């Protein structure tokens, strides 16, 4: 899998920002078929930083409904929390 196909987007929520400031961890939405070694290689190639650890979680999309229409679903996704080596930082601004 190409490194640009592995990482879909960066999750910039309040909780993700606190993780980055305090624990040197960053949250990414990744391809649902990506494995930890692929995620590690993608982050190291794209950002040029050393990855120390990765945690991944799979999420089911929430059920959504509008009026009398039949219920639908948001897309399923996979989230990866990546811990970088002490002193490394990623600036998304």
Q: Write out pLDDT tens, residues 71-84.
A: 899 999 999 999 99
Residue range 12-32: mean pLDDT, rounded: 94
The domain limits of the chain are 3-62+74-84
Q: Which CATH class is domain 3-62+74-84?
A: alpha beta
Quick check: helix, strand or coil at residue 72?
strand
pTM: 0.87
Say whether pLDDT at 62 is over 80: yes
**pLDDT value at residue 93:** 67
Cβ neighbours of 4 (radius 10 Å): 10
Judged against a pLDDT cut of 80, whether residue 18 lies above it is answered with yes
Residue 3: pLDDT over 80:
yes
Q: Let me know: does 24 contact 76? Beta carbons within 8 Å.
A: no
């Amino acid at each position: 899998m190409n490194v640009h196909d592995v990482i879909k987007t960066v999750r910039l929520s309040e909780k993700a920002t606190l993780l980055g400031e305090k624990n040197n961890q960053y949250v990414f939405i990744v391809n649902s078929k990506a494995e930890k070694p692929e995620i590690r290689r993608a982050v190291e190639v794209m950002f040029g930083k050393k990855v120390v650890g990765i945690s991944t979680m799979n999420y089911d999309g929430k059920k959504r409904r509008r009026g009398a229409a039949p219920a639908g679903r948001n897309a399923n996704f996979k989230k990866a929390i990546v811990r970088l080596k002490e002193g490394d930082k990623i600036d998304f601004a």
